[in-house]
């Protein structure tokens, strides 16, 4: 059973199938894509499924950036104490904004520092801050949907491992 985000991350990275030359770009694009799919999901079950799908790019991006996912989680919990989300829609907007800003920082890294394997310290600080904002929104949304984030993560990893076992990691759609 998943207890910490690093537990989920260790499992999730074993399902990653993207060219290493896109190790930061791919999960960044995937984070934006899955966030929009979550935003457009209707009904609690669909929302939980899509929210779980947001965990995978988050975990892989944090791994590829060599950041500590448990620190991001801890920082998110601290921020959540002071965050004034008034409803789930505000938190969803926070997810979308954070994902878009991460994409923007990666874009600037590609433009300004394409020869570096990782973004510069100033860009990394900005990306880590946005990852923390994203996670803060996810944790809040789990609370609003009355489900522990660990349960959402476990269902997602179970789905990914089922696909991996059946050779269906590649492709698209929820019914692979």
Q: Is the dihedral of CA 164, 103, 125, 109 positive or negative?
A: positive
The pLDDT value given to residue 172: 62
The pLDDT value given to residue 11: 95
Is the separation of the CB atoms in 133 and 98 below 8 Å? yes
Which residue ranges of the chain lie beneath pLDDT 70?
A: 168-176
Q: Which domain holds residue 112?
A: 5-165
Do the domain assignments include residue 54? yes
**Interatomic CA distance for residues 95 and 83, integer angstroms:** 13
Do the domain assignments include residue 144? yes
35: left (phi over 0), alpha (psi -120 to 50) or beta: alpha
Is the separation of the CB atoms in 119 and 106 below 8 Å? yes
The pLDDT value given to residue 176: 44
And the tokens for 116? 């570096």
Is the separation of the CB atoms in 85 and 91 below 8 Å? yes
The pLDDT value given to residue 162: 85
Is the separation of the CB atoms in 96 and 36 below 8 Å? yes
What is the DSSP-derived secondary structure letter of residue 22? Answer: G
**Domain tally, the chain:** 1
The pLDDT value given to residue 175: 56
Do the domain assignments include residue 170? no
Do the domain assignments include residue 10? yes
Do the domain assignments include residue 97? yes
pLDDT tens-digit profile of 81-130?
A: 887 799 999 999 999 999 999 999 999 999 998 778 899 999 999 999 99
Do the domain assignments include residue 172? no
Task: From 132, 20, 19, 7, select the one nearest 82 (Cα to Cα).
Answer: 132
Do the domain assignments include residue 173? no
């Amino acid at each position: 059973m998943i207890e910490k985000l690093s537990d989920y991350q260790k499992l999730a990275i074993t399902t990653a199938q993207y060219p290493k030359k896109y190790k930061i770009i791919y999960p960044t694009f995937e984070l934006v894509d899955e966030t929009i799919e979550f935003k457009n999901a209707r009904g609690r079950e669909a929302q939980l499924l899509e929210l779980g799908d947001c965990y995978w790019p988050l975990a892989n991006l944090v791994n590829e950036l060599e950041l500590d996912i448990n620190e991001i989680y801890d920082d998110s919990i601290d921020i959540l104490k002071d965050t004034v989300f008034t409803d789930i829609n505000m938190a969803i907007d926070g997810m979308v904004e954070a994902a878009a800003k991460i994409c923007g920082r990666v874009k600037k890294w590609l433009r300004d520092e394409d020869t570096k394997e990782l973004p510069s310290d100033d860009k990394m600080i900005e990306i880590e801050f946005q990852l923390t904002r994203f996670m803060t929104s996810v944790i809040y949304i789990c609370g609003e949907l009355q489900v522990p984030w660990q349960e959402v993560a476990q269902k997602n990893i179970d789905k990914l491992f089922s696909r991996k076992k059946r050779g269906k990691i590649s492709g698209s759609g929820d019914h692979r």
